[in-house]
Every structure is written in C-alpha cells, then in structure tokens.
Structure 1
Amino acid sequence: MPITRWTSQVLPAMLDDLRTLVELETHSYDKAMLTRGLSTVRALVEERLGVPDQAVVRDGGQYGDVLELTYRGTAPGTVLMLAHYDTVWPTGTLADWPFTMADGRITGPGVFDMKTGLVQSVWALRGLRELGLPHPSLTYLFNGDEEIGSLFSRRHIEAASADALASLVFEASLDGLLKTARKGVGKFEVAVKGVEAHAGLDPDSGASAIHALAELVTRLAGSDARELGTTLNVGLISGGTGCNVAAGRATCGIDVRVAQAPEMERMNEVFAGLRASDPRVTVTVTGDWNRPPMTPNPPSRRLFKEARAVAAGFGWELEEAAVGGASDGNFVSALGRPVLDGMGAVGAGAHARHEHVLIEHIPERTALTMGLLTALA
C-alpha cells in the first residue's frame, strides 16, 4: 500500500489522538498539568507503538519533565524526534476555546504549536511498521519547557542529538515550508536606580530612574541591525511610585533576535556599555541568550536535500524558509549537527486565538516524515 494512502486511512485515529492531547491543557508554568499531560503522551505513544525498548524520565523540577522513548529500528543509526508537549495557554483556556473541527480546520489551545506535530511523529513510526518499511531506530524526546526556553531540557536535547543521523523537530511548518534557519533569542532586563525627590518642592535633588531609562531605551532601539537580521524589542517597562516623585527605580524587559552568531557578542557589548548621562543613576543589566541562531550547516543542508527528494517522489515541491522564532532545533544546529525543523502541522496562528491546523495536510506531513525516515535507512 502506498504511504499516502495509508496515512489518509488512519487520519480519523490521528484526529482522535489530537483531541486527547489538546483537551488536556499543559501550560508551561503548571507543573501538575504538565505531569498529567506527559503521562497521557506516554500512554498514547505506547498504545500506538507498544512498550519502548528504552524509556527514561528526567525530573524537570519546577519545569515539565523530559521523557525519552527509544524504539529499535530495522536499519543502523538513530534519529532524534523532538516534540514539546507544553503550550503558552494558561490552564482554563479550554473552557471558552474548546477543541473544534469545522470547515477543514481544527482550533484549540496548542493544536498548531505543537500537538499536531507530536501526533504526526508517533503515527509515522506506526506507518513504517505496518507497511514493513525500513527505518533507523527512533528516540522520541518530549519536553515540557520549550515555550519558556527549554531551560531544563536543553542539555538533554544536546546529549540525545550527539550521535543521531538526524534530528527532526515537529514544530509547525510555515505554510508547508520546512524551517532551515531560525533566529537566536536573548532575554534581558535593564534595571535603573535613581534618586527619589519631591517633583515640586525639590526637583533638582532628584535623579529620575524613569527619565534615565527613557534615554537608554532610545539608545537601545537604535542598536538593532535589521540588514543583518538583528532586532530588539523593549516589551515591558515599569517604575516609579507617583507622578509627583522623581522615580527611584525603573526597569524594562527586552527581547533580542539575531540571525548571525557574531551579533550576539555585539549586542553583549551594547548592554555592557549602557550608562546614564546623570552620574547619580546606576544601571544594571541581567539576562542572557536563551538560544543561539539556527543557521543552515552542511549536514542540515544535505538533510534538507534528502527531504526535498522524498517530497518530489510523492509529487510535491518542498521548499524552505528562515523564520524569526526559535525552537529546540537551534540547540542542535549550533553544534553543527543535522537538523530539520517545521516537520509538523500546516496552519497558522501560533500563540494567538486564531491558532488552527488544516486537516487535509496532516496525512501528507506524516507521509513526508515516513519517507524521510525510510530514506535515512
């Protein structure tokens, strides 16, 4: 039976699994729900694929645990299958935004980012087995902290990808395009300490932290380099105690995105050089780079060519894209290892209420994974 016919036939069962996952909320900051969610993921995987040849649970502490399940293949080597089970949606969102299928699309919290991709990854191995197709061993790594930077799971992702033939990331696609380049991300906070004083009675003795921060924000906003793919956004700002008080404290939260690794060092120098014009004001910068940029290294280029050839064999044209968001694929790429991202759903609306998946593409995306795994064998 052709791969595409098989994936079309099992679509109803895949949608049942997707409903199960979406209807169990897994907000990144709700450890109890993350624990329940991971238990459900494991039960679903074992129902579809049987008991794994190896299973490891890594306690994430305050973060979601990491589950690694390895299924022995019929060919040499191992492929790492990366999928996160946490979402950005707070527990309770489902109450007024339920899992819904209508007009060829599915909506619900986390359906696009990235529970559909997780389901597709599981059914890809199910299909390879049922059709008797060769494939390497597969290690599934499910993490519950991707949406907050993979603070716990990063080291386990890097370790698991060390000897892999490839790492496939089941984040959603960009309108069907695979993601071969992503920006690196830095999260920083600038804290300013000034001198409080009465704004009317004694204005000259004060040194406003807010005025100083406004000066620094303007300077920071001019430090991006869009021609190099570097952007900076001051997304949060707070400070002061009253309109009639020269503010003693003020802070701002900053998101920096870079397409090229050298830009990380340049931006580090920008932050290190922040000074207020008023010498009575002190400036402190905290934060760090959360993810390095994902740039197309030679092994990943070869892997994309393989995927493109697989798609051509199905009669599809597969293209690639560079995107501003980051994923766990950034970690793998930065180590010079082969990785393909965007293997998951076709749809739109990540982190937004119009998040949705186009049902018609689920079988073909699953087939693409199956074909690539067979090619890697």
Structure 2
Amino acid sequence: MAAAGVLFPDGQGRVLVVRLPYDRKHPVAIPGGGWEPADLSPRRTAVREIAEELGFTPRLGPLACIDWTMDDFRPPIAAHLYWAEPLTPGQVSAFTPDSAEVGGWAWLTPEQAGHALPPRLSRRVGACLRVPRSAGPLELEDSLPAGHTLDHLVAEPPVDYTRLAGVALTGGADRPIPENAGPPLDRATYIATRPRIRAKARTLFTDRDGRVLLVRLRPWDGPGGEEPYWVLPGGGIEADRELPRAAARREVREELGWECEPGRLLALDWLPGRDADPASRRDTAVLVYLFDGGTVTEEQSASAVLAEDELVELRFCGPEEAQRLLSPESWARTSAALAARHRPGGPAELVGGRAAERPERPQAR
C-alpha cells in the first residue's frame, strides 16, 4: 500500500499533529492518509488529504522521507512524508476540519511528538526533524535509517508511548474520544479494501568509462514480446517478504550472479496507473527504487552469469545508445539517477521519470 503525510513546522521548531476522533489506541497522527488510484502521485495524495481533513490546500516543499514498513498483519506500506511551508496564524485559525477525521490539533516539540505518536510514526517523524533538510529525502526501512541516512542518524532506543497525555489540543479538544471508539472499518476489512501498488528495485551499474549496464529480457508471449526489451538490472519487490534493499540485492544475485550491497538510493520514481493517467498501460501505480551499484570492474563484468530464464544479453551503453534502447520513462529515470550520483543528499523524487511537480500557491477555498 502507499500513504502520504505532511510535516507542518512552525517558527518555534514544533510540528502540527492531529487527533483521530475514532481511534483510542493510536489517537495522535500527522495530517495525511492513504493513496487512492486516481492520485497521480503521493504528492497529490498529500495535498488531497489535507484539503479533505483540514479544509485548505497546502503548499508542499520537498519530500522529507520515504519509509517502507512491514507488518505481520497487513501488506507493506510505502509511506511518504513531505515538508510544507510554515502555516501563518491566519491559516491555522481558518481550519475547517472534517469532524469525522480530525478531532483537534496541536503543535508539539520534537520530544513531545516522539512520545505522542505511535512508535513507527514517531521514529519516522523524529528522523525528519533531527536531520538537516539538505540531507533529504531520507531513506528509511521499517522507520529505521538506511542507506545515506545512516551517515546522519543512528537507530535509537524507543521512547515511552504516551499518546494524548500532556498534549493540549485546540479545535475539538472538549470532545472526548468515546470508550467504544474505533476506526470506521475493522482492521481486516480496511486492509482488504485498500488499493495496492506494485514496487520494483533496480540498480544502476556503470563501467569505468561511465557507460550504463543494461540487460535484455528474454522474449515473452504477448504484445511486444518479440521486440528487444532492455532495462536496468532488477525486478519486483516481493510483498510481505523483503525490504527494498534486500530486493535489489536478491535481484542482482539472481540475474547476474553478483553479490553486491546496494549503494545510495539515487531515485524514487512513481509510475501512475491508468486511473490517474488514462495514457498509462499499468493497471495500478508502480514505485521504482533505483540504487547505485557503483563501477563494474572488467573482472566483475567477465564473471556475470545471466539468469537463463529471464535474460538473454547484457551490454554497457553510452548515453545515446542507452536512450535509444530504454523506454522513455526508464531513460528519464536513469538520467536523473546519473545526475544524482554527483550531488549529496537523498534520492530524486520522480513521477514517470521526471522531477515531481510542486503545487501552485494555494487558493482560498
């Protein structure tokens, strides 16, 4: 599944949280919610959710983090957190919350938020608040630092989870959560009705001349199956079984016979499904993690053993040849990843291979 939340900071280093009027177990959250198939991207999900929950259209800044979390009782969730421009007092006073979704809100310090938010969300938000924004977007797995995030943050012991204790709410604080409060749907029903995405983990390898390693898929039955089809090494992340880095490691081992530890996460590319983009041939959205595989030596290249049931050829390609062989989306993603190699910070946020758009300034609602 996929979800998106928004970090609204104020001038005092605090962050906005909301109270969920239907949940006694986890009553405090960050504004946001689940992706819907008509959303063109998680960024659009975040904007839509804030408009529905709080009654205004936020202006989002950069992606703060991507967090892939697993659980024994639900599918994995690819959780996106976005920074927003600070809200003015006038904007806050003009909140028109959906009473079924928001039962109050508060500004919490990082320490207060750490105690009030559920443990996974607490770690996710805490990481974004502690690390300089220039290091973002952060890469997290199960809300713990991964990849380049480990250069800025180490996993810390969990803090006491106090929920609403000590939190002073406004806008509905006088309405207690009923004793029998619970989400509108029971857990199993809710999970069963949520839309799913697919996810892939690919790896960018280059040789010492900077040429990109591409692999050609074995022809398959169906439209276009006899045409040469080239991709970067990698494939699907196995839902409920592995995290993205483990998937990248496994795919390289299975396809090329190499034991490689994925490097930096260079790009995070959201490919919309046909419900959001009628021109798309995908039945649902696909999220692509693109990791840096580094420079391949001549010895390593010679040791490659192709997966006979999947691949028929590998080739190192210069930019012009790679652009000709790859699909437009794949080349755009590869080009963005090559550029990301030469700058610090986290992955490029892409939609269909292109830089994710920033919403225009909000209009009065």
The structure with the largest helix share of the pair is 1
Q: Which has the larger radius of gyration?
A: 1
Q: TM-score, normalised by structure 1?
A: 0.26
Which structure carries more relative contact order (alpha carbon 8 Å, separation 6+)? 1
Q: TM-score, normalised by structure 2?
A: 0.26
